[in-house]
Each structure stands twice: as structure tokens, then as C-alpha cells.
Amino acid sequence: MHKLEVIKILKKDLNFTDRSIEKLNKFTNLVLIENKKHNLISKSTESQIWMRHILDSAQLVRFIDFNSNSLADLGTGAGFPGLVLDIYNKNKDFHVKLYEKSPVKREFLNKVISELGLNAEVLGDIRQEEIDTDIIVCRAFKKIDKIIQVSREIAKKPHKLMILKGQNAQEDLKNSLKTERYPYKLENSMTNKNSKIVLMEISN
């Protein structure tokens, strides 16, 4: 799926505005430039950045209530999905927090936020933080049981957990929920027929 196809989906199916598409264009250019110096995304995915990274992140807007107060992205890397969701957001009171332990990536994230005028905050290692948020998202971060453990330990209140997961999502969930049971749903990914989105309610 090439760039123009993805943009059509972003606008038609996910309600991204022309202004947000313009910001996504700038964001992808910044990622690709920086990726020449630092490994923000896999080199093999550069040519598919619009599908593999932008659309994969953007599909979460279908499940997010942007009238809530805040969203935390654990292990955001180059800003996926957190910055894509912040670019989409139209509520000035909705705040995105990006957790990333790499100083190089944190510097890049702050540069993007500054250049695009986004309402996001960059924070360090999640293990050293206490999260006060309504929604936690993550992509390619850890196995589901570790994500649940981290979100339970550092989140101060009940929250929604959204995980972009590959084709082993069902098996991973089964292994993760042997001791603790949380209500969840599995949604199909828009970018890969074998991938899933895990939507879970975590009560501390």
C-alpha cells in the first residue's frame, strides 16, 4: 500500500484533516532524515513508512475517546503511535505523554513536537515514572503479560490499555491472563490481516 492509498484511508475512513495530513508529511520526512543517522525505525520499513508506521498507528483513533484527559505511549520510539494520535487530536485539553528511555530518541521527539507545534510531553524510562492517565497505548514494546504488569504497577488509576500486536496475539493473551483476568476485545488490524489490536480494561 503506497502513500496516496494510505492518505485516502486516513481521510475517508479515519477522518484525518488536510492539516493533519500535512503534519504527517512533515513528521515522516523528519523520521526518514533522522533515520540516516540513528536507527529510529527498521531500514527495511522506510519505503513502507506510511502503511507500516503511520496507518498502523493511526488506526487506534477508532477506539480512543479524545474527550478524556490524557494518553500515555509506552516505549514510543520515533513517536509511534503517540505522535500520530496527537497529530489527529483536535481537543486542546487532551494531552499525550511519550515515554522513551533512549536520550537520542527523546531529543528527536522533542524536535518533532517543537517543529509541528504539538501538545505532547516527552518523559523518560517508565519504570521511574508514575503514570496518571486514562489510556495507555503501546506498539512493539514488550509481551502482553509484561505490558499489563508495567501498566498496573505505574498507573495510578483504572485505565484502558491498547496494544498493537502481531499474529500471536491470541496465544500471548492466553498466557498473560492465567492468574489475572481483565476484560478485553481483539480487533483486526487495518495493515495486516494476521495482526490484532488488543483493547483491555485494567482495574488496579
Q: Determine the pLDDT at residue 6.
A: 98
Tell me the Cα Rg of the chain. Answer: 16
Q: Tell me, yes or no, if the pTM score tops 0.75.
A: yes
Which pLDDT belongs to residue 112?
98
Answer whether the bond into residue 158 is a cis peptide, omega within 30°: no
Report pLDDT for 61.
Answer: 97
What does the alpha-carbon distance between residue 190 and residue 202 come to, in Å, rounded to a whole number? Answer: 25
- The confidence score (pLDDT) of residue 170 equals 67
pLDDT in tens, the chain (204 residues): 899 999 999 999 999 999 999 999 999 999 999 999 999 999 999 999 999 999 999 999 999 999 988 999 999 999 999 999 999 999 999 999 999 999 999 999 999 999 999 989 999 977 767 788 899 999 866 778 788 888 777 787 889 999 998 767 667 776 666 556 788 898 999 999 888 899 999 876
**Superfamily for 3-202?**
Vaccinia Virus protein VP39 (3.40.50.150)
With CA atoms as reference, report the closest residue to 85 among 63, 115, 58, 62: 58
